[in-house]
Amino acid sequence: MLFLHEIGHALGMVPKEHKHHYDRQFGGRGDHCASNTENHPKVSVKAQFGILADADSDSVKVPLALSQGAAAKPCVMYHTRTPVHHQSEFCAICQEWVKSKLDAAKWEWIDK
């Protein structure tokens, strides 16, 4: 997942106009995707979820799969590794953004 995440950054994924964009304010460094996440108090995320509390605000984005046990998978462009990171997939918005920037005729996207 880490390799895919970093390739996503190299492709310029999660620009500021992205529907789920967040940055240092809610965790991580750089531009990230908040699809299937929710805000939790920064002071509790390390102990409660094992997530680095590195946000510049008082809240950190936490995947719903961790906070609610939901089946909703975090996007590959979420900012850090978590116990559910191996389940990550590019969200629909990230997939569409990449398709719009690359020559889609050269890529075959297979839905699972």
Burial (CB count within 10 angstroms: exposed 0-12, middle 13-18, buried 19+), residue 69: exposed
**pLDDT tens readout for residues 53-95:** 888 888 889 999 988 887 888 999 988 877 787 888 999 999 9
- What does pLDDT average to over the chain? 85
Burial (CB count within 10 angstroms: exposed 0-12, middle 13-18, buried 19+), residue 71: exposed
For 13, 53, 65, 107, 109, the CA distances from 33, given in Å and listed in that order, are 9, 17, 15, 22, 20
17 vs 102 pLDDT, higher one: 17
**pLDDT tens readout for residues 12-62:** 888 888 899 988 888 788 899 999 999 999 898 888 988 888 888 888 899
Between CA 6 and CA 101 the distance in angstroms is 17
SS3 92: helix
Residue position matching structure tokens 């839905």: 111
pLDDT at 105 over 70: no
